[in-house]
Structure 1
Amino acid sequence: MPDTALQPALRTFVRSLPKAELHLHIEGSLEPELMFELARRNGVDLPYASVDALRLAYAFDSLQSFLDLYYAGAGVLITERDFHDMTMAYMNRAKEDGVVHVEIMFDPQTHTARGVAMETVFAGMARALRKVRSSMGITSYLILSFLRHLTEADAMATLEAALPLREQYKDLWIGIGLDSGERGNPPGKFARVFARCKALGFRLVAHAGEEGPADYVRDALDLLQVERIDHGVRSEEDALLLQRLIDQQIPLTVCPFSNLKLQVIKSMPQHNLARLLRLGVMATVNSDDPAYFGGYVVDNYIACAEHLGLTRHELVVLAQNSIAASFLPPEQKNEHFQALSAYVAENPAPYMQGP
């Protein structure tokens, strides 16, 4: 474990590692300050007197307790400008954290249920992402995610409502995901809509094995045909499944702070990220809903380094995995791999245990 006196040097090293973030809910990046600003702009009453009072509410005892606040917070998002400003705020932070590519999940059902048009959601995010791609060079994709506590019919209707926009946003919208509460909502519930998405050529991911059992990970792979598992930390409970993840190099987009805040683990030293990584799982580190869980992607890397004893080499492997697990085309992945190798060669980190 690094000496805490050297933590600034560790942060500098990690921040500049070229990395991708693959598990980020854009609605979960809505910081309290911006939430209050959008509420004032749109005349929305929040059930909190101040930013500090809202932050005090971020003490969750389960995924559902978080989701209740998450959906309430999303109620301030009404106009295209709101979605633009939220997305731009996250992308500015991603730039600070050395993120070179991000794959952003968004939940249109959260917004269309409130009367916000699908086009409004897409237009605001896309304007920000295209601007950042041009000005900062950070590439991005969008993953439209279905809410699993709703019906498959609702998911199918959401897909059909979004499809007319596909051509307009084909440079960004490449994937389909599945999120929200796992309990009582197994992957098989959405088999038909995922089959439709696969036939349409979308890249597929799904949340599984966070609060749900290891079986949900297997079902997401077999019934939904996903290419990547979001979370997946409970895969360790099934030896055959774990070996399959290793053999097939199926990526897991692990979110350590999220697991801690939602009490999947009781403390950071209990997290199994290091074990998974050392067994050969293609694990990645991500922030999930950073405004709610107390840290962005570099914060998650640092916490894992300090509490799990990750070596310099292992931090580099996590960054490599993030690029390998992305949906970028091979030539762009190779460019990032080369940049990562060059950075590591030029920046030794003597405070770390590894080579």
Structure 2
Amino acid sequence: MNDDFLRALPKAELHLHIEGSLEPETVFRLAGKHGVALKYPSVEALRAAYDFSDLQSFLDIYYAGADVLRDEQDFYDMTWAYLERAQADGVVHTELFFDPQTHTARGIGFEVFMPGLKRALDAAAARFGISSRLVMCFLRHLSEEDAFATLEAATPWRDWITAVGLDSSEVGHPPSKFERVFARARELGYLTVAHAGEEGPPAYVYEALDLLKVSRIDHGVRSLEDPALMARLVAERMPLTVCPLSNVKLCVFRTLAEHNLKTMLDQGVAVTVNSDDPAYFGGYVLENYRQTAAALGLTRAEVAQLARNSIEAAFLPEAEKQPHLARIDALLAAG
């Protein structure tokens, strides 16, 4: 498929953990800046360690990498580096996940990371015209009480945060564990999303829908195991923020050619393509589109539908979505 077409398609990235965009070179630079001792002797050794057997093996190294983030400028630099790549990939809107508990547990507070994130997002809006939203995720391997404390700590930055989400170790930590804190978040006016159905069963997707009342399911690839759930996802036009290269890297699928994205798309599910933790999983959003289209034999119309789904699923006013959707239609019509 023509790479220019893939790049030109206006895309919204809806499943991106900003801490997962820390490239090994940046990890080493920030470690040197702050005198942080790393387990690995070189950039090459760290990159070689990105050979994961499952989600937890990734998370262990992910949290260690985030430890180099110490001051506001670090968070700005990390976010700006991602946004430059996103702009080059044709991303017109991004909704960044960030993990406060990863930082507050180290004594790095909201007053440090929030201004760094926001300053970079504002700069990208001014320079590239990229719109953005912030999604604050709770770490599901921690307690709901800890999540409540995080929700409270975010109060001064309420106007900067659009939604709350749920990430980290899925198996053994069902969405129902966080039902009360999500209810409180909705009372405060936050939208909700949640990781479900990546390694966890379809039952977790049901819980995210019925108990957390999410607007999107992050991952959701195991939904295909339950025909009734699939029918519901189609009927409700519930977006799934699928991350193909991540799914292969974390052994959810053995190869990209075996991924079920096309099957779900064919059945009418509002599937989107995203990069998850691109520094660790081998590609930013354009690379996910490129490799997925090649591995699954996607047509131009199918790829355009993926981009259209991403714009439609974004937390944007309809008036802001329309120009992007019109551009997708024009690119497809141009052949």
Q: TM-score, normalised by structure 2?
A: 0.99
Letter in 1 for 2:118: A
Identity, % of aligned pairs? 59
2:126 and 2:161 map into 1 onto residues whose CA distance is 17
1:39 lines up with 2:27 in the alignment: no
1:241 and 1:213 map into 2 onto residues whose CA distance is 11
Tell me the CA shift for residue 340 of structure 1.
1.9
Give the equivalent residue in structure 2 for 1:242.
230
Give the equivalent residue in structure 2 for 1:320.
308
1:118 and 1:290 map into 2 onto residues whose CA distance is 24
Tell me the CA shift for residue 16 of structure 1.
1.0
Residues 174-231 of structure 1 deviation map (CA, whole Å, 9 limit, x = unaligned):
0100000111100000000000011111111000000000000000000111110000
Counterparts of 1:324-335 in structure 2 under 5 Å? 324-335=312-323
Residues 134-190 of structure 1 deviation map (CA, whole Å, 9 limit, x = unaligned):
111000000000000000000000000111222xxx2x4101000001111000000
SS in 2 for 1:76: coil
Give the equivalent residue in structure 2 for 1:75.
67
Give the equivalent residue in structure 1 for 2:181.
193
Residues 309-345 of structure 1 deviation map (CA, whole Å, 9 limit, x = unaligned):
1111000000000000011011001121122222333
Contact residue 193 and residue 215 of structure 2 kept, 8 A: yes
Decide which of 6, 19, 24 is 2:16's aligned counterpart: 24
Give the equivalent residue in structure 1 for 2:4.
12
1:335 and 1:17 map into 2 onto residues whose CA distance is 12
1:149 and 1:88 map into 2 onto residues whose CA distance is 29
Give the equivalent residue in structure 2 for 1:140.
132
Gap runs ≥5 in structure 2:
none
1:161 and 1:187 map into 2 onto residues whose CA distance is 21
Decide which of 150, 158, 165 is 1:177's aligned counterpart: 165
Give the equivalent residue in structure 2 for 1:337.
325
1:37 and 1:174 map into 2 onto residues whose CA distance is 31
SS in 2 for 1:160: helix
Give the equivalent residue in structure 1 for 2:286.
298
Give the equivalent residue in structure 2 for 1:5.
none
Number of equivalent positions: 335
1:12 and 1:55 map into 2 onto residues whose CA distance is 29
Contact residue 196 and residue 217 of structure 2 kept, 8 A: yes
Letter in 1 for 2:203: D
1:274 lines up with 2:262 in the alignment: yes
1:251 lines up with 2:243 in the alignment: no
1:62 lines up with 2:54 in the alignment: yes
2:276 and 2:171 map into 1 onto residues whose CA distance is 19
Give the equivalent residue in structure 1 for 2:99.
107
Q: CA RMSD in A?
A: 0.8
Counterparts of 1:85-234 in structure 2 under 5 Å? 85-166=77-158, 170=159, 172-234=160-222
Tell me the CA shift for residue 240 of structure 1.
0.5
Tell me the CA shift for residue 43 of structure 1.
1.0
Letter in 2 for 1:34: T
2:63 and 2:176 map into 1 onto residues whose CA distance is 24
1:143 and 1:222 map into 2 onto residues whose CA distance is 20
Q: Which runs of 4+ in 1 moved over 3 A?
A: none
Letter in 2 for 1:320: R
Contact residue 5 and residue 331 of structure 2 kept, 8 A: no
Tell me the CA shift for residue 42 of structure 1.
1.0
